[in-house]
Amino acid sequence: MSLDSERLQKLTDRKKLILKAVIEAHIETGEPVGSKLLTTNKQIMLSSATIRNEMAELEEMGYLEQPHTSAGRIPSEKGYRFYVDTLMEDYQLTASELSLLNSLLSGRLSAMDKIVEKASSVMAALTNYTSLAIRPRPKKVVILRFKTLLLGDYDFLLIMITSSSVVNTKNIRTHQPVDARQLELLEAALNRFMCGVDINDITLPMIMQMEIAAGRAAPLVNFVIKCVYDFVSELNDEIDFDGVNRLLQYPEYSDDMELLRDMLRLFERKEDIINIVAGGRRDATNIYIGSENRVDEMKSSTIVFKTIMARGRPVGAIGVIGPCRMDYPKVVTTLEYLTGHLSDIASENVAARLPLPGDGGTDNNEK
C-alpha cells in the first residue's frame, strides 16, 4: 500500500469537520455543496483551495460524490452512515416542540393505541417526513365460530369470531342462487373443520374434506376460504402512515415520478415495511440508509424507527421515512424522546393491567 493510500484510509479531524459541514449543508439545501459555501462556515477556518483538496480526497475515499459535472459534491451512503454513527450531534428540542410532545404524552393511559397513532402524526408534523406507527400483529389468528345469515337469493352474510374476540362480517355475493339449507350445511362444515385452526395450517386436503361435508353447498367453500384469508390479512395490516404527501416536498421524489410511484405502492403493500421494522433491534434506534434496506423501493430512501417496549415486551413502533438527506439529529432526538415516554406509559399500563396494543381486549371490532 502506498503512502497516499495509507493516508486516505483514515479520516483526519479536518476531514471529519468538512464532511460534517457538507452533509449538514446538503440536508438543508438539497443542492451540491462547493468549497466556496464552506468558507462561510465559521467552524472551518480554511482556504477554498484547501477545502477543495480535502473534498476531493473525501470523494476518493467514498464519503462524497460529485453529481454530473457540478463543481459541488453531495454525501454518499457511506458518508451518511459515518455521519450518523460518528459525527451527528444531539438536537435540542425547542420549547414549542416539547410542548407539543408533552401534550400528546399526557393522554389517558387506557388509550395507548390512540397515543401510538397520534405519536406518528406528531412525528410527521415535527420532522416533515412520512411517519409510521406499528402495533404488534397477533402471533396466531384462529376463528372460534362461524355463523351465516341469508340476505337474498344471491348473497349471504358470513360472521367470523376470533380467539381475540374480534367479530368480522363479510357480505358474500354468489353467481348462483343460495338458500337457507345450503348455508346450514356450509356453516356446519366450517365449524367442523376450521374452528380453532391457524389459518396458516389450512391445507388443500382440508378444503376438499370441507367441500365433501358441505354437500350441495360445496361451491360456496372457496368463496369463504378467500374471505377468511382476506380477514386475516386485514388483521395483519397493523401499520399506519401519516404525511405521505410530504414526500412531494423533496425533489428526490417530486422530480422522479417512477420512484414516487414505487414508494406509494410500497405504502399500499405495507408488509415489506412491517418486515423491516420486525427485523430491527429492539434496544436501539434503527437507521437504514439507502441500499441498507432490503426492499428495492427503499434504495433511495431512509427509514428510522424505534420499538416501544413495556417491561421487556414490544408493544409497537414509530418511525419516519424520507430521503437519504434526512435531518438525522432532529429525527433521532424526537423519536427517542417519544418512544422513551411511550415505553413508560406502556409499562404503567402493564402494572395497571390495562390493555396494550396487540392485546385481544374485550371490545368487538365489526367491519
Radius of gyration from C-alpha coordinates of the chain: 27
Q: Residue 320, Cα to own-chain centre: how many angstroms?
A: 7
For residue 134, list its beta bridge partners. Answer: 239, 317
Counting residues of the chain whose pLDDT is more than 70, the rounded percentage is: 86
Length of the chain: 367
Selection from 21-35, 237-251, 271-285 with the highest mean pLDDT = 21-35
CA distance 270 to 274: 6
pLDDT digits (tens, 9 = 90+) for 132-142: 998 765 556 77
Strand segments (E) across 174-247: 239-242
Taking CB atoms within 8 Å and a gap of at least 24, the contacts of 35-38 are 37/72
CA nearest 199: which of 168, 173, 175, 174?
168
**Predicted local confidence at residue 365, as pLDDT:** 35
Span 143-236: which CATH code?
3.30.390
Q: Is the pLDDT of residue 64 over 70?
A: yes
Q: Return left, alpha or beta for 336; rule: phi > 0 is left, psi -120 to 50 is alpha, else beta.
A: alpha
Give the closest residue to 331 by CA, choosing from 17, 165, 90.
Answer: 90
Q: Supply the pTM of this predicted model.
A: 0.71
**Among 199, 202, 138, CA closest to 165:** 138
Residue 79 has pLDDT above 90, yes or no: yes
Q: Could you tell me what percent of the chain has a pLDDT over 90? A: 55
Give the tens place of pLDDT for each residue, 190-202.
999 988 887 778 8
Among 49-53, 111-115, 194-198, 352-356, name the one with the lowest average pLDDT.
352-356
- Interval 9-62: pLDDT, tens: 689 999 999 999 999 999 999 999 999 999 998 889 899 999 999 999 999 999
What are the backbone dihedrals phi and psi of residue 84, each rounded to the nearest 5 degrees, phi first? -65, -40
Identify the CATH assignment for 3-87 out of 3.90.1150.10, 1.20.1050.140, 1.10.10.10, 1.10.150.20: 1.10.10.10
CA nearest neighbour of 343 among 319, 316, 305:
316
What 3-state class would DSSP assign to 193?
Answer: helix
Q: Positive or negative, the Cα torsion across 341, 347, 353, 355?
A: positive
Distance separating alpha carbons of residues 124 and 318, to the nearest angstrom: 10
Backbone phi, psi, residue 3, to 5°? -65, -40
DSSP percent split of the chain into helix, strand, coil, nearest 5:
50, 20, 30
**In the predicted model, what is the mean pLDDT of residues 86-112?**
84
Question: What confidence score (pLDDT) does residue 346 get?
Answer: 80
Place of cell 493510500: 5
- Least confident stretch, 49-53, 67-71, 276-280: 67-71
The architecture in CATH of the region 95-137+239-351 reads: 2-Layer Sandwich (3.30)
pLDDT band at 349 (very low <50, low <70, confident <90, very high): low
Strand-pair category, 239-242 with 286-289: unpaired
DSSP 279: T
Q: Domain spans of the chain?
A: 3-87, 95-137+239-351, 143-236
Place of cell 425547542: 94
pLDDT digits (tens, 9 = 90+) for 130-170: 999 987 655 567 788 999 999 989 999 888 887 766 677 88
pLDDT interval class at 363 (50, 70, 90): very low
pLDDT at 3: 40
Which residues, 6 or more positions from 86, have their beta carbon under 8 angstroms from its beta carbon? 16
CB 129 within 8 A of CB 241: no
Average pLDDT over residues 89-97: 95
pLDDT at position 5 over 80: no
Average pLDDT, the chain: 85
* Mean pLDDT computed over 86-98: 95
DSSP single-letter state for residue 10: S
Task: Give the per-residue pLDDT at 243.
Answer: 92
